[in-house]
Amino acid sequence: MTDLRPPFRADHVGSLLRPAPIAQARKAGVTGDELKQIEDREIPALIKMQEDVGLKVVTDGEARRAFWHYDFMDGLTGLDIVETGGDALGFKGATVSLAPTIDKALDFPADHPMLDHFKFVAANTGVCPKISIPGPSAVHFRVTPDHNHHAPYEDQDLFTAEIAATFKKAVHAFYDVGCRYLQLDDIFFAYLGDEKQREIRRSMGQDPDWMIQRYAWMLEEAIKDRPDDMVIGMHMCRGNFQSTFVATGGYDAAADAIFNQTSVDVYFMEYDSERAGGLEPLGLLPKGTKRVMPGFITTKTAELEKVDDIKRQLEAASKFVDMDQLGIAPQCGFASTEEGNKVTEDDQRRKLELVVKVAQDVWGEA
């Protein structure tokens, strides 16, 4: 029988191009139950596409979201997404003018909508359902000091401790609805490898090295008491919005923190361009059962990578980490926002088929 327990050799970060009926409905301003009915009709086909290419783990493609992180964050008690009137995210050649603000104590509500999103995937697949949510760092990094209006949270130790407590509650809530594979997108560890991003944080009165250590602490606080049968994945990248990016720089500053100061099981790491730096930081992964999914396959462009090239890159990675602790996944989602990257649904499918093909060739399983 096929083992459907994570981790898997072939996986993907989570978001997929939005099916046309969902995209069209949202663009037309459809909301509420009417939009949910359209989503409920379309998402099973998105799940089936993932199963058909041979993946043993599926998501809802984040098709009910506008953003990979803001929808989840907006569902938290005490946090709201607001219009800033200017560029809030810093993408190259693209503008996003929304940002989170906090005006009271944070909490994870028992009726957070993404609990039902997960249950829908689980009810509509015969393989392993996964959901990806932003990691704790997303709240701290995106809620800049000028958008933090809850006076007690001027104390950064208190602020980060309450973020961690909120996410711990979320982890257990997802477990209680049946989730055994939860992915936390903690991309800002990678951002903090970029000197420009580090200087921006210094200008806000924040210490980038403290942030890396504290982000690892927050993540571990959130996941350390999870049940033994719950697998935690973690994704890192340098921005993904309509095929654009924000940051450049390797994992050197964050590798020890993410690998050795957290009990994360699976690491999804962007490695599709020189912006990600070298493979040397993988050497800090401890021997054992932790697994790295190096993202040698890009979601930003349509060109399909060659199987032999991916195998050579995996061989290069195996100089720093045992091949048995590696898998393969694309470097990011195909649609971190509802607009999606500049690829087609056929491009997306071929990329996912490539993931499965490489995994089967290298490890004999997906």
How do residues 144-193 score in pLDDT, each as one tens digit?
999 999 999 999 999 999 999 999 999 999 999 999 999 999 999 999 99
Q: How many CB atoms lie within 10 A of CB 11?
A: 29
For residue range 246-286, list pLDDT tens digits in order: 888 999 999 999 999 999 999 999 999 898 999 999 999 99
Collapse the DSSP code of 219 into the 3-class scheme (helix H, G, I; strand E, B; otherwise coil) and give the result. Answer: helix
DSSP structure class, residue 334: S
Q: Does the structure show a pLDDT above 80 at 114?
A: yes
Phi, psi dihedral angles at 27 (to 5 degrees): -65, -35
Domain residue extents for the chain: 20-363
- Which is more confident, 241 or 299? 299
Beta bridge partners of 138: none
Chain-centroid distance, C-alpha 223: 15
pLDDT-based confidence at residue 245 (cuts at 50, 70, 90): confident
Instruction: Read off the pLDDT band of 43 (50, 70, 90).
Output: very high
Q: How remote is the C-alpha of 202 from its chain's centroid?
A: 25
Task: Give me the CATH code for the 20-363 domain, please.
Answer: 3.20.20.210
Residues 12 and 183 sit within 8 Å (Cβ to Cβ): no
Strand pairing report for 77-83 and 57-58: unpaired
- Count CB atoms within 10 A of the CB of residue 112: 18
Q: Work out the angle between the directed axes of helices 208-223 and 195-203 (0-180°, nearest 10).
A: 90
The residue type found at 201 is R
* Local structure of 281: helix, strand or coil: helix
Q: pTM of the full predicted structure?
A: 0.94
Query: Residue 244: which pLDDT band, with cuts at 50, 70 and 90?
Result: confident
pLDDT at 86 (0 to 100): 59
